[in-house]
Structures are given as structure tokens and as C-alpha cells.
């Protein structure tokens, strides 16, 4: 078994962050790293004050990527995100002032508070990876990753993201409360914002781009491919589900599984990798039957997975 | 990938052939021509992929044919027109493009054709065609449902295997049902139509009179006359008695049905046989000489040991016989000398002179018979079926001039001389010898084994069998034992025994026979003591248990699974035991198992195994050895 050389660096990023900075947030960190490796976006759904912003900042700090932040409100305009042209008296012409979206990692805090108009402009940029303002197209930097958050409990004055746009997020996950002893340590140590802000980068941008290429070469066997396909088919014929997974979801599942295998230091995908990221990749894309909307979708995915035999030979 | 359409087309031709081949020999020339042309044109068009014959042309072509045969249909000729129309319809259907509907019609017509062939012939080959047809039709029907959905569909080899398997399953599942239905369904023992215009059956040998000199040569035929199930006997004792000729006009011997009464001393060892004669118009029942009793209804028994069937003949039958094979029968009442010494008025003077010379040479019957035997042995007679004496004086020519002839000449001349010498005698017609089939445990006697010999009444001992043909100088060549068992002979014997079993268990099967078997088994069970039954059934039970155990082992211990599956199962069992994992945890992924077990050997095993499996390749030999080594570490 050959171990991809660049995967060392990413295991290192992951290990350092979870050991020294973000104790108890391994899962969201791992999924964030997978999102970077695949080039996808991540949506974190959880209550405020559980460290969503800190995770995004730490990720930016460890990778040495530029970081932009947008706090969404109901009066946020698309141009507040993308930027706009301002007339310069000295030069006698309009010059473009790029908005926060022209960063490698963009934190969209409380994305469900923005108007649908702003949301769709944002999500279009996520998909196209470029912004067109007043007839001029500006490419977004590469790597580019949106780290969106939303607060599931406070629903007043919010605009829920439509299913079609949820599908654009590679991964949707929560953070959860840290374990008791970890939380006591965090309280004792106080905030770590300053510590995160002064972080030295652990990988270079070039290494990220090389790792992305390598992830694509991870071998996906026929057995695992049929496992993924069976999983997707099972969601389409499930009783509780109105619309199952799309083909894009299946592609994303395979890509994320490759990245997970890469992080685990393997050059092939095992069914375990698929299992490990299936809930994060699939759950938010399911459209449940109207009378079943209250059911937790992660649980549905877990029961579907339990019903499909893993290809062992 | 295999295109469903072409596969279905091939199967359609197979089905058509299965229906046509058994019927073909019974068809007239016109339907034969139609069939050959239809198959050829259908094949050609299918190969070209263009169908010049349009359905309306085919349908129009059938109309005049149908009218033609409808006019021919009559009470005396009901079958030929029907099967001709059937065959021509099949030929027309098969000649054009085959849509799903056409294919279904072809299947139906083929089954009808095969079924109608059984009107002419009930041979085991029918079963082969029927089995083939059922299997192929089942598969083809499955294929047709696919073709009906999508005409251009193609399937990969594994799917094709599944289809073939399910097709095979249907007829196989039907077999137990067949076995249940078989005893209660009405059956025929003769081909329903064909028995009426059966061809002349016995072409050589056995007849109801003996007339040496009527032909200058005879051609023996090798067709079977009958089969006799019995233990193996000495070849020289195999005289099969048919009829007895007791009246002569000097040339022709015939049977006077008013046979004088005989009461026999029956003693000695009897041989039991079951005889299966080939269907024929002859009413005489053949049995090993000399039959004491034939166990069958509607049989007339003559005092001289001739058994005749009363009523219809021509169907297949079988009967059990008890025989005394000694060749000597003692008679308690005095023999009717006048009846058995009868000679024609104009008996040849030369023969008469020879007979009186023999009569003078001995003082009792025994020495006279021995003298005549010596005369024949030393006379230089040759056994031959060609260049025979003919005409009214054929016997005289045979005895004094030509000195060559077949058994009829020997027996006839010997008997005439015996009668002229004052010794009562008669001719017995039947068969001599036979080929023993070790596989089936029966003798096959062919028509060319037909034979005639002499039975002489010798005062003091009784009716004695004398075979004058054995006195010929070349008797050794003619009666030589069967040569070495060549492969061809063995194969023909296997085929013959198959044919025999078919006749025995299917064609001549009757309900009475089954009841007899059941009754026999019942009485045997009452007599037998339970412990003996238990002991004798031990091997069967052991056999069944062994078989079941083997099947279980195959399933459970994966005897015939791949190397990968075997070593994985060992690994999973071991992990479950050593690390106390639940079966549920073991059903999860390999890397999950490794992380739960948290053991370096387990991790190593998983890394090597998954590295091969999820790269879509088999384990290499070195990897396999390494894995086995790890398993040993795990155990230790």
C-alpha cells in the first residue's frame, strides 16, 4: 500500500488543530479539511457560541489562506458581498472595490438571515467561482471555500435555504457541545481567538492544489462504486423520502469518500470511507415527505446504510 | 453482450427442429420439401437481416395448402392431411421474420408436431425431444418477454446465465409433478395411428410353417425379436420355444392344432424369465425351452408346450415364464404314436430306404437315433443360407446330393427319417442363442436367430431335444460364442437397454403391475423383522446424512469459495472471538473493525486485504501467505 506523501501534511494540519486549538471539534475539522481537498463548501448548522467562527478562522490560519467574513442580515445586499465600483476623482474613472467574497475562505455567518436575492447571488458565485459586476467578470481566488453557518433554533425573520441551494453544499454538519472535561479546560483557558489569529501556516497553497490533484487519483473500485450507487438508489425508493439523492450528490459522495481515504493515508477508497462521510454529505439533500419533515434525516441515512451489505470480498 | 433478438431466433430454430425431426420420417414428400425450404429461407433471411417474405404472403400461401389437404381429409385418411398442414404451417411461419407473436406460434406448432409424431412411434427418443423442447421453450419464453419490452436489448453473460438457469428450473420443478401424474393418467401401449398400417413385422425366421426348398437363399435380419430378463445361462442351452410343427406332407411342415393330450413329469430346477416380445402379429408366445407355465391372462396352452395369445396382438406386452431347461421331458401317459409317425403317402423311396437301414441297425429307439446322428455327423453336411436345394425334392437333394442347407433342411430331413424309422417326433420352431446385455440383465434375441429343431420321443426317457443343425461340419463356426466386446457393441448394448427400460417402465407399465409391486413390498415388510430393516437401511441413511453434511459443509465452511472469502471468514471469526466483538460490529467495514479492535495485527491484516480487494484484484500468493501468518499471530 503506497501512502500519498502529501497526505502527511494534511494529517498534520488536522492533528495540530484538534490537539492544540480546537479540542473536541475533530469531526467538523475533518469534514472541513475534506471540503478543502474536494473544493466544496461546508454548511455548519448549530447554536451560536459553539465555535463555528473559530473553526473557520483556525482553518484559514493553519492553511495560510486569506479569510473574509460576511455577517448576513435581512438588509444585506448582493453588492455588500461581491463588491462594487467606486468613482475615483484622482483617476477620473470607476475602480472596482472587491467585496469579502474575494477571499480563499469566506465565512457566511447566519446565511439564513439574508434575503433570497442575496442568498442566490452568493450561491451562484459558489457554483460558478466567479462574479460578474457591471459586465466585467472577476474570477474568484482558488482555492475557494464557503464556510456558511446557520442557526436552526431561531427561525423568526429568516429565509430558509431552498433544497436546490442546499444541494450546492458538499457537506452539512453540526458541532455540538464539547465533552465535559474539554469544556472546563476551554472555560479555564478563555477564548482562543488571539491564539488562532497568530497561527503560523502549516501548509502552502501549492501543497493544497497538489493534494487536490492527488485526491482525484485515489482508486475507486467497482465494489465501492456499486456500494455508493446502491446507497443512492435506496434513498430514492425509501418510504419516508420524497426525493432521494441526485446524481450530483452521488458524485460528491464519491469525491468526499476519496478525500476521506486520502486523509486516512490510503490510495483506494474503502466502503468505510463512504460510511464515514455519508451522513454529512447526504442528509441535508434529502427531501422528506411533508408529513415526515420532522424526522431527523441523519438517522434515516444511518438506517439505510445499516440495510446495505458492505462489499467485503 | 448477447443480443436477445438473435438468441431468441436461434432458440426458435432449435424448437422448430425439435418438433420437426421426430415427425419428418412420417411425412409425405410435399410437407418435407416445404419444411426444408422454410428452414433454409428463414435462416438465410435472418442471416441477411432482410425479410423479403411479408406476413401477408405467408398467410395467403397457407390458404391453398389448407384447402388442398381439407379435400384429402377422409375417414380412412384422417391423419396425414392434418400433420401435413401442421408441418407446412410451421414451415411457413419459420420462413419469415419472427416477431414475438410469430415465435409463439412456432413454439405451439412445434409442440403439436412433436405430439403428433407419437401417433406413429412410441420410442424413448420422443422423451429426449420433449425434454429438450420443454427446456428450450421455457428459456425462449423468458427471452421473448425481454424482446417484447425492447427489441434491441442485449444482455451480459452473467445475466444470460441467470436466464438459462431459471429456464432450466421450470422443467426441473415440473418433474416431480410429472411423476405424480404418470400413474393416474391414461396411457397407450401402441402408437395410436400407426398400429393400423404397421409394416410386415417378421422378415426372417419365425413363421407358422416350415417349408425348406421354397427359396434359394434367405437374408437374415438383425432386428430384435424379443428380450428376456433372466440370469445368464449357458449359451448352448438357449433354445427359445415358439411353436411345434407336427404334420408333414414330405416338404412342408405345419401345425395340427388338435394335439394329443400329454401329462408331463415336472421335476428339476426351473428358470424364471420375463419376456418382452417386440410387437408383432404372431400370437405364439416365445419362452425358454421348455416352458412349464406362462403367467398371463388370456393365454391358450397346448399339451405340447405351445402357448398362444387369445385376442388382440400388436401391442407391447410382457409375461413371466417358468421353464425347465434340461431338454428332456418325461411323459406319463403313452404317446400317440400314430399322430407323431404320420408320413405322406408318396414318401421318397431313397429316404425310405435310408430310414429302414437305420431302423435295422439298432434294436431300440435310442440306438437308432444315435445311428442317425452318426450318419448326419459323418455325412459331410454344411450349414448355409445360400445356394439352397429347391423344389419338390429339395429334402432328397439335401440329404444325398447338395448336403448344404439351413436349419429347416437339417431338422426337416432328420425328422422325416426318424418318422420313417418308426420313432415319433415333431419339429419345434423358435430361436437359438441370444446376446446377453450385462447392463440390463437380459438376453436380446434377434430375428436372424430363428431356428428349427427336432423333438423325438424315445421310449424309456421321454421327449428329447435334438438339434440336427449342430451336426453340420461347420456348426462350430455358426454357433461360435460372441466375439470380444468391442466399444461399438457396448454402446449399442447401452442404447438397447435404455430402449428396453423405456418399454418396460413406460410403455408396458400398467396399474396392476404397480399394485402387485406394492403388495409384494407390503408382504415383505410384514415378514421382515424390524431390526433387520433398520440394519439394512443404515447405509442409505448414512449416505443421505453424508450428502446433507457435505452440502452443509459447502455452505457453512465455504469449501468451494474463493481464497479471499475463505481467509476473510477465518479472520472475522477470529476477531469476533479474540476481541469479543458483536456480530453486528463484525458486519461493519474492515477499517471500522480495525479501529474497534485496536490491534496492530488486525490493522495489518485489514491494510493488506483491503489493499487488494478495493483495488479490484485478487490476493497475490505472497500477500496470502502474509495474511495467514498474521492470522497465526492473532491466534497465538
Topology at the third CATH level for domain A1-212: Rossmann fold (3.40.50)
Contacts of B520 (CB under 8 A, 6+ apart): none
pLDDT score at B199? 43
Residues of B in contact with A224 (CB under 8 A): 614
Say how far apart CA B634 and CA B605 lie, in whole Å. Answer: 10
pLDDT score at A228? 94
pLDDT score at B64? 87
Q: Which helix (H) or strand (E) holds B542?
A: helix B530-556
A124-to-A36, A129, A286, B217, B252 alpha-carbon distances in Å: 19, 8, 21, 108, 118
DSSP assigned state of B309: E
DSSP string, chain A: ----THHHHHHHHHHHIIIII-TT-HHHHHHHHHHHHHT--EEEE--TTSSHHHHHHHHHHHHT--EEEEE--TT--HHHHHEEEEEETTTTEEEEEE-TTSSSEEEEETGGGS-HHHHHHHHHHHHHSEEEETTEEEEPPSS-EEEEEE-SS--TT--PPPHHHHTT-SEEE---PPPHHHHHHHHHH---HHHHHTPPPSS-HHHHHHHHHHHHTSB--HHHHHHHHHHHHHHHT-SSEEE---HHHHHHHHHHHHHHHHHTT-SB--HHHHHHHHHHHHGGG-EE-GGGTTS-HHHHHHHHHHTS-----
Say how far apart CA A231 and CA B393 lie, in whole Å. Answer: 102
The two beta strands, A105-109 and A67-71, are parallel
Residue of chain B minimizing CA distance to A222: B616
Which of B453, B460, B465, B454 minimizes the C-alpha distance to B365?
B460
Q: Which three cell numbers stand for residue B588?
A: 461493519
For chain A, positions 219-248, list CB contacts with chain B under 8 A: 219, 221-224
DSSP assigned state of B210: B
CATH of region A218-313, choose from 3.40.50.10740, 1.10.8.80, 1.10.1740.10, 1.25.40.420 = 1.10.8.80
pLDDT score at A1? 39
Q: Which of A4, A270, A305, A306 should we substitute to test contact with B (largest number of B Cβ atoms within 10 Å)?
A: A270
Is B618 in CB contact (< 8 Å) with chain A? no
- Do A310 and B562 make contact, defined as CB atoms within 8 angstroms? no
Say how far apart CA B6 and CA B375 lie, in whole Å. Answer: 78
Domain boundaries, chain A: 1-212, 218-313
Say how far apart CA B632 and CA B426 lie, in whole Å. Answer: 91
Is B611 in CB contact (< 8 Å) with chain A? yes
Q: Which helix (H) or strand (E) holds B394?
A: helix B394-396
User: Could you report the average pLDDT of every consecutive run of 10 residues in chain B (636 residues)?
Assistant: 84 92 89 92 86 81 86 78 90 87 91 88 82 88 85 80 80 77 62 51 58 68 83 86 87 86 81 84 84 83 86 73 85 85 84 87 85 87 82 84 86 90 90 84 85 88 88 72 65 80 72 66 67 75 87 65 81 81 68 84 89 87 89 81
Residues of A in contact with B588 (CB under 8 A): 272, 275, 310
Find the distance separating the first CA and the last CA of chain A, reported in whole Å: 18
Residues of B in contact with A310 (CB under 8 A): 587-589
For chain A, positions 264-283, list CB contacts with chain B under 8 A: 264, 266, 268-273, 275
Burial of residue A149 (number of CB atoms within 10 Å: 0-12, 13-18, 19+):
buried
- Which residues does chain A have with pLDDT short of 50? 1-4
Nearest to A313 among B564, B589, B607 (CB): B564
Residues of B in contact with A266 (CB under 8 A): 611
Is A86 in CB contact (< 8 Å) with chain B? no
Say how far apart CA B175 and CA B512 lie, in whole Å. Answer: 23
Contacts of B564 (CB under 8 A, 6+ apart): A313, B609, B612, B613, B618, B619
Nearest to A1 among B565, B611, B616 (CB): B611
Contacts of A16 (CB under 8 A, 6+ apart): A62, A202
Q: How far is A51 from chain B (nearest CA, A)?
A: 28
pLDDT score at B485? 58
Please give the ipTM for the structure prediction. 0.83
pLDDT score at B51? 79
Amino acid at each position: 500500500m503506497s501512502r500519498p506523501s502529501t497526505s502527511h501534511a494534511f494529517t498534520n494540519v488536522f492533528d495540530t488543530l484538534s490537539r492544540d486549538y480546537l479540542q473536541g471539534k475533530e469531526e467538523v475539522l475533518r469534514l472541513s479539511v475534506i471540503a478543502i481537498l474536494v473544493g466544496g463548501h461546508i454548511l455548519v448548522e448549530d447554536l451560536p457560541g459553539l465555535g463555528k467562527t473559530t473553526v473557520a478562522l483556525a482553518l484559514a490560519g493553519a492553511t495560510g489562506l486569506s479569510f473574509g467574513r460576511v455577517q448576513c442580515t435581512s438588509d444585506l445586499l448582493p453588492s455588500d458581498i461581491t463588491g462594487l465600483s467606486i468613482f475615483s476623482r484622482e483617476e477620473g474613472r470607476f475602480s472596482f472595490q472587491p467585496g469579502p467574497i474575494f477571499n480563499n475562505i469566506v465565512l457566511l455567518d447566519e446565511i439564513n438571515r439574508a434575503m433570497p436575492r442575496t442568498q442566490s447571488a452568493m450561491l451562484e458565485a459558489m457554483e460558478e467561482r466567479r462574479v460578474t459586476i457591471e459586465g466585467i467578470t472577476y474570477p474568484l481566488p482558488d482555492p475557494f471555500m464557503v464556510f456558511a453557518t446557520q442557526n436552526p433554533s431561531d427561525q423568526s425573520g429568516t429565509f430558509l435555504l431552498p433544497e436546490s441551494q442546499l444541494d450546492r453544499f458538499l457537506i452539512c454538519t453540526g458541532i455540538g457541545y464539547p465533552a465535559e472535561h474539554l469544556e472546563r479546560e476551554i472555560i479555564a483557558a478563555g477564548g482562543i481567538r488571539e491564539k488562532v489569529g497568530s497561527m503560523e501556516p502549516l501548509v502552502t497553497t501549492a501543497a493544497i492544489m497538489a493534494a487536490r490533484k492527488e485526491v482525484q487519483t485515489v482508486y475507486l473500485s467497482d465494489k465501492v462504486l456499486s456500494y455508493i450507487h446502491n446507497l443512492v438508489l435506496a434513498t430514492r425508493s425509501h418510504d419516508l423520502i420524497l426525493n432521494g439523492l441526485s446524481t450530483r450528490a452521488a458524485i460528491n459522495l464519491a469525491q468526499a469518500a476519496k478525500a476521506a481515504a486520502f486523509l486516512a493515508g490510503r490510495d483506494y477508497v474503502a466502503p468505510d470511507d463512504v460510511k464515514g462521510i455519508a451522513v454529512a454529505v447526504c442528509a441535508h439533500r434529502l427531501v422528506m415527505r411533508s408529513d415526515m419533515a420532522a424526522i431527523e434525516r441523519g438517522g434515516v441515512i444511518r438506517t439505510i446504510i445499516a440495510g446495505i451489505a458492505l462489499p467485503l470480498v | 453482450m448477447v443480443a436477445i433478438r438473435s438468441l431468441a431466433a436461434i432458440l426458435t430454430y432449435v424448437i422448430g427442429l425439435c418438433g420437426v425431426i421426430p415427425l419428418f420420417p412420417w411425412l409425405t414428400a410435399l410437407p418435407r420439401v416445404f419444411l426444408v425450404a422454410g428452414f433454409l429461407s428463414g435462416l438465410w433471411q435472418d442471416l441477411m437481416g432482410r425479410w423479403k417474405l411479408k406476413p401477408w404472403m405467408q398467410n395467403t400461401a397457407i390458404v391453398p395448402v389448407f384447402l388442398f389437404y381439407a379435400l384429402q381429409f377422409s375417414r380412412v385418411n384422417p391423419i396425414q392431411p392434418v400433420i401435413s398442414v401442421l408441418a407446412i404451417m410451421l414451415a411457413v411461419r419459420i420462413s419469415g421474420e419472427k416477431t414475438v407473436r410469430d415465435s409463439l406460434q412456432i413454439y405451439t406448432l412445434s409442440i403439436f408436431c412433436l405430439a403428433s409424431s407419437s401417433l406413429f412411434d412410441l420410442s424413448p427418443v420422443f422423451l429426449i425431444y420433449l425434454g429438450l423442447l420443454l427446456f428450450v421453450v421455457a428459456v425462449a419464453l423468458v427471452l421473448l418477454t425481454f424482446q417484447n419490452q425492447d427489441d434491441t436489448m442485449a444482455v451480459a453473460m452473467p445475466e444470460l446465465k441467470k436466464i438459462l438457469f431459471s429456464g432450466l428450473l421450470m422443467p426441473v420443478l415440473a418433474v416431480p409433478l410429472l411423476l405424480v401424474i404418470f400413474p393416474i393418467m391414461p396411457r397407450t401401449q401402441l402408437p395410436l395411428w400407426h398400429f393400423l398400417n404397421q409394416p410386415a413385422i417378421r422378415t426372417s425366421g419365425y413363421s407358422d410353417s416350415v417349408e425348406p426348398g421354397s427359396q434359394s437363399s434367405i437374408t437374415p435380419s438383425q432386428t430384435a425379436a424379443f428380450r428376456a430378463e433372466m440370469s445368464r445361462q449357458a449359451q448352448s442351452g438357449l433354445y427359445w420355444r415358439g411353436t411345434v410343427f407336427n404334420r408333414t406332407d414330405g416338404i412342408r411342415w405345419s401345425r395340427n392344432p388338435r394335439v394329443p393330450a400329454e401329462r408331463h413329469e415336472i421335476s428339476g430346477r426351473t428358470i424364471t424369465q420375463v419376456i418382452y416380445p417386440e410387437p408383432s402379429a404372431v400370437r405364439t408366445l416365445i419362452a425358454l425351452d421348455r416352458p412349464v407355465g406362462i403367467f398371463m391372462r388370456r393365454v391358450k396352452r397346448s399339451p405340447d408346450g405351445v402357448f398362444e395369445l387369445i385376442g388382440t396382438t400388436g401391442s407391447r406386452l410382457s409375461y413371466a415364464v417358468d421353464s425347465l431347461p434340461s431338454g428332456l421331458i418325461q411323459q406319463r401317459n403313452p404317446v400317440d404314436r400314430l399322430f407323431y409317425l404320420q408320413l405322406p403317402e408318396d414318401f421318397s423311396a431313397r429316404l425310405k430306404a435310408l430310414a429302414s437301414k437305420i431302423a435295422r441297425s439298432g434294436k431300440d429307439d435310442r440306438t437308432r437315433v444315435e445311428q442317425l446322428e452318426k450318419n448326419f455327423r459323418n455325412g459331410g453336411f454344411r450349414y448355409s443360407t445360400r445356394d439352397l436345394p429347391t423344389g419338390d425334392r429339395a429334402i432328397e437333394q439335401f440329404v444325398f446330393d447338395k448336403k448344404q442347407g439351413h436349419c429347416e433342411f437339417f431338422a426337416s430331413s432328420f425328422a422325416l427319417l426318424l418318422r420313417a424309422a418308426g420313432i415319433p417326433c415333431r419339429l419345434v420352431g423358435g430361436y437359438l442363442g441370444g446376446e446377453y446385455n450385462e447392463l440390463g440383465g437380459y438376453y436380446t434375441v434377434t430375428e436372424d436367430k430363428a431356428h428349427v429343431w427336432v423333438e423325438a420321443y424315445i421310449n424309456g426317457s421321454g421327449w428329447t431335444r435334438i438339434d440336427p443343425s449342430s451336426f453340420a461340419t461347420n456348426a462350430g463356426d455358426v454357433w461360435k460364442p460372441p466375439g470380444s466386446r468391442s466399444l461399438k457393441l457396448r454402446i449399442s448394448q447401452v442404447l438397447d437397454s435404455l430402449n428396453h427400460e423405456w418399454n418396460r417402465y413406460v410403455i408396458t407399465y400398467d396399474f396392476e403391475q404397480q399394485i402387485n409391486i406394492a403388495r409384494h413390498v407390503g408382504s415383505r415388510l410384514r415378514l421382515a423383522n424390524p431390526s433387520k430393516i433398520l440394519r439394512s437401511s443404515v447405509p442409505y441413511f448414512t449416505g443421505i446424512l453424508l450428502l446433507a453434511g457435505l452440502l452443509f459443509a459447502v455452505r457453512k465452511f465455504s469449501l468451494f469459495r474463493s481464497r479471499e472469502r475463505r481467509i476473510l471468514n477465518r479472520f472475522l471469526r477470529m476477531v469476533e472471538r479474540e476481541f469479543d466483538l458483536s456480530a453486528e460490529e463484525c458486519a461493519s467495514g474492515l477499517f471500522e473493525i480495525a479501529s474497534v479492535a485496536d490491534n496492530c495485527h488486525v490493522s495489518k491484516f485489514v491494510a493488506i486485504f483491503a489493499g487488494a480487494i478495493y483495488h479490484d484484484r485478487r490476493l497475490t500468493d505472497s500477500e496470502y501467505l502474509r495474511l495467514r501468518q498474521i492470522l497465526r499471530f492473532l491466534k497465538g
